């Protein structure tokens, strides 16, 4: 379990590892809830925790619904990646019925390094292998491949794979076109994941504006002529809308973004009507007035 807090002097975001606990047996909702409560009690932070970020596994969700406040759950950044995974493993291309499958076991790391050096011994580029535990690993891997293709090294890479006797079909021109389009479509999602999963700027207030910007970029792509990945774009949009609908209706999440000096209300006007932005502005003023009154009362002798 990690913990994040704001420095009292400059409001910079601080973070640390709070606990590292082994859970024996089945990781049921009860076991998780007891573990979380025991850590909170050990460090005397039961009344200081404002919000908890978990993944969206059923055991975690049940733990918070039954033993805590369900509204305190903020989605883990990985759920952005879940929506892409539904379309990425096998993508049906156009009307031709072409299937492009991604297999993480196709090229082990040692073979990837050998292939890199074989086709460019002077400037070897590490061909990264997708890793299920790293959210952006597939995107990063394909980005490296596209960089190689952009340098005109497709045939050299194919030759290297053949010399190493890797059981990988050679990359054809259509494959390159597909991969470049895929990387371009997934770039906003990958960038959003980097922001949300970061330690320095990942305030709660950054979540909704990041989602809005990501969705806006995907919507723009949906209006363009995509040869291969139009279904991927639509799937990402549908998934993002359904996954984050609750957070957009969560006053705490909206206010956190509205009070963030980087975003304020601009993102909300882009997402929704000015009516909602106006109501949130009124709510912000109310909260500020309450806080000012509290401070004045505390300063009185």
Within-domain flag for 147: yes
Statement to judge: residues 27 and 107 lie in one domain: no
Judgement on whether residues 88 and 216 belong to the same structural domain of the protein:
yes
- Predicted confidence at residue 135, as pLDDT, reads 64
Residues spanned by the domain of 118: 79-245
Residues 199 and 100 in one domain: yes
Q: Out of 97-101, 136-140, 167-171, which region has the weakest mean confidence (pLDDT)?
A: 97-101
Distance CA(173)–CA(192), nearest Å, equals 30
> Around 124, how many Cα atoms within 13 Å sit in the side-chain half-sphere?
12
Q: Is 97 left (phi over 0), alpha (psi -120 to 50) or beta?
A: left
Does residue 151 have a pLDDT over 80?
yes
In whole angstroms, what is the distance from residue 245 CA to residue 264 CA? 20
Do residue 218 and residue 142 come from a single domain?
yes
Phi, psi of 273 (to 5 degrees): -75, 160
Which range, of 64-73, 89-98, 241-250, 292-301, averages the lowest pLDDT? 89-98
Helix (H) or strand (E) holding 71: none
Q: Which helix (H) or strand (E) holds 121?
A: none
Q: Other CB atoms closer than 10 Å to residue 145's CB: what's the count? A: 22
Q: Which of 217, 216, 237 is nearest to 83 (CA)?
A: 237
Same domain, 121 and 5: no
Looking at the DSSP assignment, which residues form a beta bridge with residue 91? 100
Average pLDDT of the residues in 127-147: 74
Residues 68, 86, single domain; the answer is: no
Residues 6 or more apart in contact with residue 138 via CB below 8 angstroms: 88, 102, 130
Identify whether residues 163 and 50 lie together within a single domain: no
Q: 32-41, 56-65, 225-234, 239-248: which has the minimum mean pLDDT? A: 56-65
pLDDT of residue 9: 85
Tell me the pLDDT band of 275, cut-offs 50, 70 and 90: low
Distances (CA, A) of 38 to 31, 276, 285: 11, 40, 38
| One domain for residues 85 and 65 | no
The rounded distance, in Å, linking the Cα atoms of 270 and 141 is 33
**Do the beta carbons of residue 201 and residue 17 sit within 8 Å?**
no
In the predicted model, is pLDDT for residue 19 greater than 70?
yes
Selected residue with higher pLDDT from 130 and 79:
130
Residue 218 has pLDDT above 90, yes or no: yes
Tell me, yes or no, whether 181 lies in a domain: yes
What CA–CA distance (Å, rounded) separates 164 from 158? 10
- Same domain flag for 83 and 38: no
Q: Contact, 231 vs 93, CB < 8 A?
A: no
Instruction: Give CA–CA dist 132/104, Å, rounded.
Output: 8
pLDDT band for position 274 (50/70/90)?
A: low
Are 66 and 131 within one domain? Answer: no
Evaluate whether 3 touches 18 at the Cβ level (below 8 Å). Answer: yes
Confidence band of 68 (pLDDT split at 50, 70, 90): low
Asked whether residue 108 carries a pLDDT value surpassing 70, the answer given is: no
- pLDDT on residue 74: 45
Q: Give the pLDDT score at 80.
A: 45
The average pLDDT across 205-213 equals 88
In a domain, 117, yes or no: yes
| Mean pLDDT across 226-247 | 87
Q: What is the mean pLDDT of residues 53-61?
A: 73
| Residue 185 within a domain | yes
- Single out the residue in 226, 245, 264 at which a domain terminates: 245
Q: Which of 76, 109, 141 is the last residue of a domain?
A: 76
* Residues 107, 160 within the same domain: yes
Do 205 and 228 lie in one domain? The reply is: yes
* 35-39, 118-122, 143-147, 268-272: range with lowest mean pLDDT: 118-122
Query: CA gyration radius for the chain?
Result: 24
At 250, give phi and psi (nearest 5°): -95, 115
Confidence class of residue 187 from pLDDT cuts 50, 70 and 90? Answer: very high
191, 143 contact by CB (below 8 A): no
Identify whether 241 is part of a domain: yes
- In angstroms, the CA 224 to CA 48 distance is 48
Question: What's the confidence (pLDDT) of residue 87?
Answer: 42
Is 49 inside a domain boundary? yes
Nearest residue to 199 via CA among 57, 38, 72, 53: 53
Is residue 255 assigned to a domain?
A: no
When divided into structural domains, the chain yields a total of: 2
CA dist., res. 285 & res. 289, Å (int): 6
Decide which of 43, 61, 76 is a domain's last residue: 76
Pairing type for strands 13-17 and 2-6 reads antiparallel
In a domain, 201, yes or no: yes
Q: How confident is the model at residue 92, as a pLDDT?
A: 38
pLDDT surpasses 50 at 138:
yes
Residue 15 has pLDDT above 60, yes or no: yes
Alpha carbon 22 to chain centroid distance? 26
pLDDT exceeds 90 at position 61: no
* 45-59, 83-97, 286-300: segment of lowest average pLDDT: 83-97
Q: What is the mean pLDDT of the chain?
A: 75
% the chain with pLDDT above 70: 73
Comparison of pLDDT for 234 and 15, the residue scoring more: 234
């Amino acid at each position: 379990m990690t913990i994040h807090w704001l420095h009292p002097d400059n409001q910079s975001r601080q973070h640390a590892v709070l606990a590292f606990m082994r859970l024996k047996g089945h990781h049921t909702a009860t076991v998780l809830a007891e573990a979380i409560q025991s850590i909170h009690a050990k460090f005397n932070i039961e009344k200081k925790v404002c919000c908890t970020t978990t993944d969206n596994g059923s055991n975690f969700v049940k733990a918070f619904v039954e033993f805590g406040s369900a509204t305190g759950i903020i989605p883990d950044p990985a759920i952005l990646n879940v929506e892409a995974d539904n379309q990425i493993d096998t993508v049906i291309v156009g009307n031709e019925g072409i299937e492009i499958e991604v297999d993480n076991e196709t090229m082990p790391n040692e073979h990837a390094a050998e292939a890199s050096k074989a086709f460019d011994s002077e400037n070897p580029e590490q061909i990264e292998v997708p890793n299920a535990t790293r959210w952006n690993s597939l995107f990063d891997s394909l980005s490296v491949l596209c960089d190689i293709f952009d340098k005109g090294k497709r045939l050299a890479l194919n030759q290297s794979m053949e010399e190493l006797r890797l059981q990988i079909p050679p990359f054809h021109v259509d494959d390159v076109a597909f991969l470049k389009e895929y990387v371009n479509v997934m770039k906003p999602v990958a960038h959003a994941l980097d922001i949300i999963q970061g330690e320095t700027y990942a305030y709660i207030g950054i979540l909704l504006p990041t989602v809005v910007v990501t969705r806006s970029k995907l919507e723009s792509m949906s209006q363009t002529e995509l040869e291969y990945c139009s279904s991927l774009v639509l799937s990402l949009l549908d998934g993002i809308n359904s996954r984050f609908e609750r957070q957009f209706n969560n006053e705490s999440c909206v206010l956190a973004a509205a009070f963030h000096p980087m975003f304020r209300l601009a993102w909300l006007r882009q997402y929704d009507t000015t009516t909602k932005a106006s109501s949130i502005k009124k709510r912000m003023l109310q909260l500020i007035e309450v806080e000012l009154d509290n401070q004045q009362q505390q300063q009185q002798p």
